Each structure stands twice: as structure tokens, then as C-alpha cells.
Amino acid sequence: MEKDLSKYRKSYEKGALLLTEVPENPLELFQKWFHEVDAFFIEDETNAMTVSTIGLDGYPKNRVVLLKKYTYEGFIFYTNYNSEKGKAIAMNPNVCLSFFWHGAERQVIIKGKAEKIAENLSDGYFESRPRGSQIGALVSNQSEVVENREVLENKLKALEDELEGKEVIRPKHWGGYLVRPVEIEFWQGRPNRLHDRIRYKLQEDYDWKIERLSP
Ligand SMILES: Cc1cc2nc3c(=O)[nH]c(=O)nc-3n(C[C@H](O)[C@H](O)[C@H](O)COP(=O)(O)O)c2cc1C
């Protein structure tokens, strides 16, 4: 099989990113971009991002998760702590998050350190989830091999019966990670491949160093 994709080409023309216009704190630029993408561009899930971890097998692995909160501290997503990514983070908390917002021709790449959030915060978020998602978190031993789909569906049914009329309690192995950024790069597509790239790097004094990178 062969498919030549060399004629796939696009000129990026939707925006610009100038050093003279960016804020001192990258979280403020992230917030601005996130709001703009949400409001003005076609994006199904603006909060979908890839999380890359360095696995126990030495390979990096990316997967998509949903960003559920961001603050000046960093970025929070929820998952199963026993999953492949959970085990990877336990061994090496250095992760990379990235967003590609194709409608806005923007990319954001965040290097940072992941840590589990406080139990009460995970409880709070778990309680806010629809019941189906809560029970789903109990059903799935995320990233474990499962013999077939029926096993999962039977387990779901059994749990639905068992928990009828009862509150679903968050399992301890399910919760949030906060990724504290150490570096954030903002990429805005420009014509002729002369894209804008602005990188913020956290310094020892906790100030952010801001630099333009070559495209
Ligand atoms: C749009 C989208 C959103 C997702 N959101 C999450 C999420 O918030 N949390 C999560 O654990 N997995 C989420 N997943 C599934 C993950 O991509 C992945 O399959 C799962 O977390 C297991 O990854 P792991 O085995 O590498 O740990 C999402 C997948 C997609 C495509």
C-alpha cells in the first residue's frame, strides 16, 4: 500500500503572535487563546489535549485526555492512577501536554511536572460527574487487558444493580493530576511557513523568560 500526501498543503493566515503583545505570565496568554478558540473558531473539544509520558518501557506515549481546569498553578486532568500513564507518572512525573487548535491554526506545548491533586478536590469533581461516568470509572481497570466487551458490560450491569439508590463513591485509584508548567510554547501558523513561536521558560526566581523561536 502507498499513499502520497505530499500535495496536502495549507497556508496559515489566521493570526499573529508578537513578542511586544504577549503578557508576562504564559497562563494569561493560555487563557486568552483558550477563550478565543472557544468563541471564534470551530473546535469540537477545545479542552482536548495530548498528555505524553515517559513509560516504564522507556518509550514516550501520547494520548488524548480532557483538560478540566487551569489556574495560575497549572493544568488539571482526571484519570485512573493505575493506568499506563498513571504508572509512568509515578516513575517519572515529567510530562508534556499539547493542544492543536486547527481552526485557529494554533498549537500550545507545555512541559511540566505532574502531581496528584488533593483527595477532596478529586472527590468534588467525581461527585459532579454524571452517574454513568462515575460507575464507568469503577468498571474499568484502565489499560489492563480485558477478554472481551461482554466482561465490561456484565460488570457495568452488576454494579448498576448493586449501587441502585446509593451514592457512588470515588475509587481511590481515580483522580486528578495537576501539571505545573516549567515551559510553555505558543505556536501561531503564519504564511510561507514563517510561523510565530513564543516560548516561556520558568527561571529559578520563578519569573518567566520569554523568547522567540525560529519556525
Ligand atoms: C477526546 C478524548 C478524551 C479523553 N479523555 C480522557 C480523560 O479525560 N481521562 C482519561 O483517563 N482518558 C481519556 N481519554 C482516553 C485516553 O486517550 C486513553 O485511552 C486512556 O486514558 C488510557 O491511556 P493509557 O493506557 O495510556 O493510560 C480520552 C480520549 C479521547 C479521544
Instruction: List, for residues 27-79, the tens digit of each pLDDT value.
Output: 999 999 999 999 998 888 999 999 999 999 999 999 999 999 999 999 999 99
pLDDT at 97 > cutoff 90: yes
pLDDT at 149 > cutoff 90: yes
Percent share of the chain, pLDDT over 90: 97
Percent share of the chain, pLDDT over 70: 100
Confidence of residue 124 (pLDDT cuts 50, 70, 90): very high
DSSP state of 6: T
How much is the average pLDDT of 171-176? 97
Could you tell me which residues are annotated as the binding site?
Answer: 9-12, 63-68, 78-79, 85, 107, 125, 129, 133, 142-143, 187, 193-195, 197
**Ligand 1 atom nearest 84 alpha carbon:** 27
pLDDT at 167 > cutoff 90: yes
In angstroms, the CA 151 to CA 147 distance is 7
Q: Tell whether the torsion through CA atoms of 161, 134, 117 and 180 is positive or negative.
A: positive
Q: Are 63 and 77 in contact (CB under 8 A)?
A: no
Question: Would residue 147 count as lying in a domain?
Answer: no
Question: Would residue 154 count as lying in a domain?
Answer: no
Confidence of residue 26 (pLDDT cuts 50, 70, 90): very high
**Ligand 1 atom nearest 77 alpha carbon:** 8
Question: Would residue 13 count as lying in a domain?
Answer: no
**Ligand 1 atom nearest 66 alpha carbon:** 8
Q: Distance from CA of residue 143 to its chain's centroid?
A: 18
Question: Would residue 168 count as lying in a domain?
Answer: no
Question: Would residue 130 count as lying in a domain?
Answer: no
Q: What ranges in the chain are assigned the alpha helix state H?
A: 26-40, 84-91, 119-128, 131-139, 149-162
Question: Would residue 160 count as lying in a domain?
Answer: no
Domain encompassing residue 99: 26-122+176-212
- Give catalytic status of residue 170 as yes or no: no
Question: Would residue 85 count as lying in a domain?
Answer: yes
Q: Which of 46, 79, 91, when mutated, tests ligand 1's pocket best, judged by the most ligand atoms within 8 Å of its CB?
A: 79
Task: Domain count for the chain, please give it.
Answer: 1
Question: Would residue 3 count as lying in a domain?
Answer: no
* Confidence (pLDDT) at 48: 98
Q: What is the CATH number of the domain that holds 44?
A: 2.30.110.10
pTM of the model: 0.96
* Confidence (pLDDT) at 44: 87
Ligand 1 pocket check for 90: Cβ under 6 Å: no
